[in-house]
Structure 1
Amino acid sequence: MEYTGYVEPGGYDQVVFRGRRDTREFIAFWLSGGRVLAGMNVNVWDVTDPIRALVTSGQAVDASELADVDVPLTQLLNHPDATG
C-alpha cells in the first residue's frame, strides 16, 4: 500500500475507486472539485508516478474515467475535457 498526496480531514468531496476492492487490488482517489488531492494504491503496482502527476497537476479529471481501469492514468493528464 502506498499513499501519495495529502488530504485534510473533511477536505475532499468525493472518493473514487479504481479496480476491485473485493480482491484488495485497487486505487482510491480523494478529490475536491474534480481535482485529485491524494491517491492510495493497494496491491496495484507501478502507479505511484502517474498518481503523483495527477496530484501535482492540479488539473480536474473526469471521475468516471478515473475509475475505469481501461483508461490509462497518464491519459487523464491534459485530457481535452479537463479544466485546470
Structure 2
Amino acid sequence: MFAIFRGDVEARQFIAFWLDGGRALAGMIWDDNDAIQDLVRAGARVDTSALSDTETPLGSLVGASP
C-alpha cells in the first residue's frame, strides 16, 4: 500500500489517496468527498500520474477498468 498526494502538501491544500494494487482504497480531503467516494467505490485501477495531477478531474478516473 502506498499514498499519492494531489495538490500542495506544504500548504496543506491537498487530497491524499491510499492505493493497493493500483486501486484507490481510501481518500481524504477536508471539503467535498463525493468524487473520492465514487473513485474508491468503483474499485478500478487508476493511473497514479493522473491521480496526483490537479488538472485531471477526479470524475474522469472513476470510469477506469477494474
Structure number with bigger Rg: 1
- Shorter-normalised TM-score: what interval? over 0.9
Q: Residues 17-60 of structure 1: CA distance to partner in whole angstroms, max 9, x if unpaired?
A: 00001100000000000100000114xx33x1110001111100
Identity between Structure 1 and Structure 2 (%): 47
SS in 2 for 1:66: helix
C-alpha RMSD of the superposition? 1.1
1:77, distance to aligned residue in structure 2 (A): 1.3
Q: Give 1:39's aligned residue.
A: 27
Unaligned runs of 5+ in 2: none
Unaligned runs of 5+ in 1: 1-12
SS in 2 for 1:18: strand
Report how many aligned residue pairs link the two structures: 66
TM (norm. structure 1) is 0.74
SS in 1 for 2:6: strand
Q: Give 1:16's aligned residue.
A: 4
1:26 to 14, 17, 25: 14
TM (norm. structure 2) is 0.92
